Structure 1
Amino acid sequence: MAFVHANSLRFHVQRLPAAVPDRQDLPDGTEGTGRADQPVVVFLHGLVVDNLSSFYCPLALPTARAGHEAVLYDLRGHGRTERPATGYDSRTAVRDLLALLGALGLGRRRVHLVGNSHGGTLALHAALARPDLVAGLTLLEPPLSGAWVENMVDTLSAAALSLEGSPVPAELLGLRLRKAAHLTAIADELLNRTSLIDDIAASRTFTPADYARLRCPLLIVCGEHSELVPGAQELARHATQASTTLRILPGLGHDVLKESGGALREAVLAHLEATAAVTAARAGALVP
């Protein structure tokens, strides 16, 4: 565990160095090179009850074992990161990311962003704001439509009302369910004592013109039964300047990160290798 100060906040960060890959862990036809010039893989988790731990075993450890340096962190207000009253909009999230990379000494390295759910929208915002920095994108169940924003604001508002003054955290502690009590207390603080709901409500939705600006390799993964599939299809349809792959995993809904197992891991590792190869080729082309 490590804490890093960036953009006036203390962030909880986990950094996994690239390991010599075990060839048996890799998809067929891929290689984990561990090159110093390949992108650092940065993981961005979802909203409220999520944190960096959701990525650790399913994707982050396999990523490091495949020869890619990995960085995981709890977003502003989530997990063990500080919880200020404001700053839960996408622009501040991108500033947090850039400041954190600088504090870690990675400001000159390109990154491959892996975002789950709301983390996927933040990754997309970062790629549009800093195309020079983002070498690749992996978006897992990204919520991209205005309808999702409206539904999420309604859901979060209802949850905020149910948690306000609720005895549930204390009851969970009484039952020695400390993890559940801790997550519930964090949710209460985020929803009732910060600007998170208002910031989500005011968030700008993406347009086809935004998608057309993307140039980096892009992997989008959705569950077959997810309501977010149409938005993912629209992104794939308009991101014509990017090398785009849309994977629909059969039998799954929104929670592909927890439920998909090896299929997701293999798709992500293959995409990371392809992005690293493209980045290395472009860097080589720039060398006189």
Structure 2
Amino acid sequence: MSSTELPPVPASTVLPRVAPVRVAEGERLRSVGLPGATLTVRSRPPVREGLPPALCVHGLGGSSQNWSALMQRLEGLVDSEALDLPGFGDSPPPDDGDYSVTGHARAVIRYLDAAGRGPVHLIGNSMGGAVTTRVAAVRPDLVRTLTLVSPALPEIRVQRTAVPTALLALPGVAPLFTRLTKDWTAEQRVRGVMALCYGDPGRVTPEGFRAAVEEMERRFALPYFWDAMARSARGIVNAYTLGGQHGLWRQAERVLAPTLLVYGGRDQLVGYRMARRAARTFRDSRLLSLPEAGHVAMMEYPDLVAEAVRELLADTGELGEPAKVSDEAAGSAMADEAGTAGAGS
């Protein structure tokens, strides 16, 4: 494994059309060469030595930036990293063009094997939730605990609001959508994405919105943007249709790691009703239900998700010194869990 440090981009810098990704204060990026892929990894230097490692995996159309808020709140608890899956964020496409759930899982496994960081506290959102479920099932030696935020596990009745995303998997749809939306501005695209992914888009700060627009402009200029989106969407649809031991629900049954499930009541992409099935399926699970959250609870409610992760690690004996979580956040999380969450089997 080869690794190259990437310099941060000052917020005041005038960015070219295809610019380096934004790096928040306290973060760093590095490029990691692996067999068949090059991955960009985002990290925060650990506040002290000896913290257990954690790895975060984003969803369709996302990037490691989706985890910046949560990683900041997990300081002092874990040594956090987040990677850009092949073809997303700042990672180039995979050499073999494999964007399936298995292909993405293979990239995660290769990184963990090469980095020697396993076993890790593995955290995934949406498509990343499907990917990390597969990793935990086939390589339990690499996973201490598993946290899934709105995981993209198969649903028989898909929500109507999720259908347009699924349609990206069909041949010709991505080019058609590109032509139909060629006059849309980056701001319009970001507002559309936020309306779909957030329970309350009003929670996004002006700075957060500007950063999202900047990232949209950067990603949209990449020649492989739509190919990565379409092929990954196809990979999710294909994973939904797999049966037998390779089916995602069957693999969820095989996960040995203690599992935290986080579902949002306003999620328009993953059905809220799937939370109870997931809690029954993962053998050692607990459920955090956030009625006001959408598809990216770790971005909307990072304090509550961080507190739930802290409790998971504490209850499973994985917690060292307590993380510093605000009294207000802890109280809110306890109230929310008391009212809406229950432990799974």
Partner of 1:51: 63
Amino acid at match of 1:66: G
Partner of 1:30: none
- TM-score, normalised to structure 1's length? 0.76
The 8 Å contact of residues 137 and 256 in structure 2, kept in 1 or not, is answered as no
The 8 Å contact of residues 143 and 231 in structure 1, kept in 2 or not, is answered as no
Shift of 1:232: 2.5
The 8 Å contact of residues 60 and 232 in structure 2, kept in 1 or not, is answered as no
1:163 equivalent in alignment to 2:163: no
How far apart are the structure 1 equivalents of 2:300 and 2:125? Answer: 13
The 8 Å contact of residues 266 and 294 in structure 2, kept in 1 or not, is answered as yes
- TM-score, normalised to structure 2's length? 0.64
1:80 equivalent in alignment to 2:90: yes
Aligned length: 253
Q: Select 1:225's aligned residue among 266, 281, 288.
A: 266
Amino acid at match of 2:63: N
Matches within 5 A, 1:1-288: 1-20=29-48, 35=50, 38=52, 40-48=53-61, 50-56=62-68, 58-63=69-74, 65-84=75-94, 86-106=97-117, 109-147=118-156, 148=158, 151=163, 152-155=165-168, 157=170, 158-164=173-179, 167-168=182-183, 178-186=214-222, 189-192=224-227, 195-203=231-239, 204=242, 206=247, 209-226=250-267, 227-240=270-283, 242=284, 244-275=285-316, 277=318
> How has the CA–CA distance of structure 1 residues 210 and 105 changed in structure 2, closer, same or farther, with 3 Å as cutoff?
closer
Unaligned runs of 5+ in 1: 21-33, 280-288
> How has the CA–CA distance of structure 1 residues 99 and 223 changed in structure 2, closer, same or farther, with 3 Å as cutoff?
same
1:224-282, Cα deviation, whole Å (9 max, x unpaired) = 23352222211211223x2x111111222223122224222211232234445289xxx
1:85-115, Cα deviation, whole Å (9 max, x unpaired) = 7111122212211221233343xx3111110
Q: Secondary structure at the match of 1:236?
A: helix
The 8 Å contact of residues 86 and 196 in structure 1, kept in 2 or not, is answered as no
Shift of 1:160: 4.5
The 8 Å contact of residues 18 and 67 in structure 1, kept in 2 or not, is answered as no
Q: Secondary structure at the match of 1:98?
A: helix
Shift of 1:6: 1.0
The 8 Å contact of residues 134 and 216 in structure 1, kept in 2 or not, is answered as yes
Q: Secondary structure at the match of 1:229?
A: coil
How far apart are the structure 2 equivalents of 1:5 and 1:276? Answer: 34
Shift of 1:155: 4.9
Amino acid at match of 2:42: Q
The 8 Å contact of residues 144 and 232 in structure 1, kept in 2 or not, is answered as no
1:18-63, Cα deviation, whole Å (9 max, x unpaired) = 314xxxxxxxxxxxxx646x4x200000112x1001101x211222
- The sequence identity of aligned pairs, in percent, is 24
Superposition RMSD in Å: 3.1
How far apart are the structure 2 equivalents of 1:128 and 1:62? Answer: 28
Amino acid at match of 2:254: R
> How has the CA–CA distance of structure 1 residues 81 and 275 changed in structure 2, closer, same or farther, with 3 Å as cutoff?
farther
Unaligned runs of 5+ in 2: 1-28, 188-209, 321-345
Shift of 1:210: 3.1
How far apart are the structure 2 equivalents of 1:42 and 1:274? Answer: 20
Amino acid at match of 1:236: A
How far apart are the structure 1 equivalents of 2:180 and 2:227? Answer: 10
